[in-house]
Amino acid sequence: MILFSSIDPLFSLSGFAVGALIGMTGVGGGSLMTPLLILAFGIHPATAVGTDLLYASATKTVGTGVHGISRTVAWRVVGRLALGSVPMTAITLLVLSRIGTQSTAANTLITSVLAVALFTTAVVLVLRKRIIARYAPVLATMRPRRRRMLTVGMGAVLGVLVSISSVGAGAIGVTFLILLYPNLPMARVVGSDIAHAVPLTLIAGVGHWMLGLTDLGLLTSLLFGSIPGIILGSYAAPRIPDAALRYLLAGTLLFVGGRLVF
């Protein structure tokens, strides 16, 4: 009873909407939830990032289960990404702890990286087809060893971005997976991206929690809506064309990124 009495319906509704988007496209976790918490609900940036990371971890664990049952996860690719992201996440958390998470410098760093990550995600969403058309033929002939190394390197970049801003594991990760693994069906790309986000956001989220940057009451409310949302979205993923969703998300991210900067 105490648990349910602490649930805020507005936060749960937000969690449901974002969870459904994550399940369908692999995008929308940190890209939408963190800015939403900061701009619409007035949550401190560091607390918003820390809470969103644990929210994303729990939500994407459920999404990974659904994609796993549907056999839309390339586990070998997930392992390569994690090989780069996990150590870089630990290093980034160590740097944040040294800076001081409540300092003006940390707040400026989080907001700046968040804005850049949102703009980058929006551009990637809009130009994804052009990027793939230009670089996919070259990357398709890449040697297996180089492909593995680039996958690990991409994981490292995502580890830094996600640890600071909670943004990056969605659209950016999905696009690079399409480039590096052009023969992988889209549903498996999305499933693999979601599965990789689980250890990444869990480690980063626990690190932020240890730094005192997590609101557990807010987290409960978000999860109450997001878990059914991502189940619904993950089942719908193989059946829904993502073009309209990509442009809608891109426009939203550009607007939100602009609000953070100005």
Is 80 exceeded by the pLDDT of residue 103? Answer: no
247-253 mean pLDDT: 71
**Which is higher by pLDDT, 164 or 249?**
164
- Tell whether the model's pLDDT for residue 161 goes beyond 50: yes
Return d(Cα 86, Cα 18) in angstroms, integer: 24
Residue identified by tokens 């002939």 is 141
Q: What b-and-e string marks burial along 44-77, b requiring 16 or more CB atoms within 10 Å of the CB?
A: bbbbbbbbbbbbbbbbbbbbbbbbeeeebbbeeb
Residues 98-116, mean pLDDT to the nearest whole number: 77
In contact, 245 and 24? CB cutoff 8 Å: yes
pLDDT digits (tens, 9 = 90+) for 22-66: 777 666 666 778 888 888 888 888 888 889 888 888 878 888 888
Query: Which is more confidently placed, 228 or 5?
Result: 228
**The pLDDT of residue 123 is above 90:** no
Residue 255 predicted with pLDDT over 60: yes
| Burial grade of 7 (CB within 10 A; 0-12, 13-18, 19 or more) | middle
pLDDT at 4 over 60: no
pLDDT of residue 91: 94
Q: 173-231: per-residue pLDDT in tens?
A: 888 888 888 888 888 888 898 899 899 999 999 998 988 888 888 888 988 888 888 78
